[in-house]
Amino acid sequence: MTQTSDDVTWLTQESYNKLVEELEYLSGPARGEITAKIAAAREEGDLRENGGYHAAKEEQGKQELRIRQLKQLLERAKVGEAPAKSGEAAPGMVVKIAFDGDENDTMTFLLASREYPTSDIETFSPQSPLGTGVIGKKVGEDAEYELPNGKKAMVRILEATPYQG
């Protein structure tokens, strides 16, 4: 199956490694810990009125959900290799924008998964309001996105370059 830029999650090597480490922990030691909690609670007797058992089962469900999310995210991940094409806002690109076209009011960010942001640059998800507004826009083009209060904001794309990690 070929991945399109819409279903790729761009991650730094550091972020990818943290996610793999979390998945390994949740799939191994953490599963053993929760199984032991459930077994201990089960030995306490009547499961219908056993709060510890129900809490452990709920924790297990949340843990299994997180494992599925991590597996899906890592399957779609591209590590450290941003698109080669500069000049268009896309996942894996460092984008510099000017608010309301004001060249003095700018922000630079990485358009990528916010799962584990990088320490050197702010990260916005392609699914965020700003991300969906700028994605596909070329340098010099204006993009509109919705603010949390429902109002629209306008930005101009000043730069779009591949993230170098």
Percentage, residues of the chain above pLDDT 90: 41
Predicted pLDDT at 126: 86
Given this model, what pLDDT does residue 121 score?
82
| DSSP β-bridge partners for residue 138 | 88
Q: Which domain holds residue 151?
A: 93-162
> What confidence category does residue 3 fall into, taking pLDDT thresholds of 50, 70 and 90?
very low
Mean per-residue pLDDT, 39-53: 82
Q: What is the CATH number of the domain that holds 67?
A: 1.10.287.180
pLDDT, residue 14, reads 75
Q: What is residue 25's predicted lDDT score, i.e. its pLDDT?
A: 95
Asked if the model's pLDDT at residue 84 lies above 70, the reply is: no
Asked if residue 86 is part of any domain, the answer here is no
* Choice between 52 and 12, residue whose per-residue pLDDT is larger: 52
Domain count within the chain: 2
pLDDT digits (tens, 9 = 90+) for 106-165: 999 988 876 655 667 888 888 889 999 999 999 999 999 998 899 999 999 999 988 776
State mean pLDDT over 74-103: 79
Q: Are 60 and 38 in contact (CB under 8 A)?
A: yes
Q: Of the residues 24, 53, 79, which one is the last residue of a structural domain?
A: 79
Instruction: Judge whether 87 lies within some domain.
Output: no
Is 85 part of a structural domain of the chain?
A: no
> Among 79, 104, 122, which residue terminates a domain?
79
Q: Residue 64 has what pLDDT?
A: 95
Query: What single letter denotes the amino acid at residue 147?
Result: L
**Same domain as 73, residue 17:** yes
Identify the pLDDT of residue 1.
Answer: 37
> How far is the C-alpha of 112 from the C-alpha of 103, rounded, in Å?
24
Return the closest-CA partner of residue 63 out of 27, 115, 19: 27
Per-residue pLDDT of 144-160, as tens digits, reads: 999 889 999 999 999 99
Residue-level pLDDT at 162 = 84
CA distance 74 to 109: 22
Which residues, 6+ apart, have CB-to-CB distance to 161 below 8 Å? Answer: 86, 93, 94
User: What b/e sequence results for 26-51 when a residue is b if at least 16 CB atoms lie within 10 Å of its CB, and e otherwise?
Assistant: beeebeeebeebbeebeeeeeeeebe
Q: For residue 2, what pLDDT is reported? A: 40
Q: Do 73 and 106 sit in the same domain of this protein?
A: no
pLDDT value of position 100: 83
Which of 56, 79, 102 corresponds to the end of one domain?
79
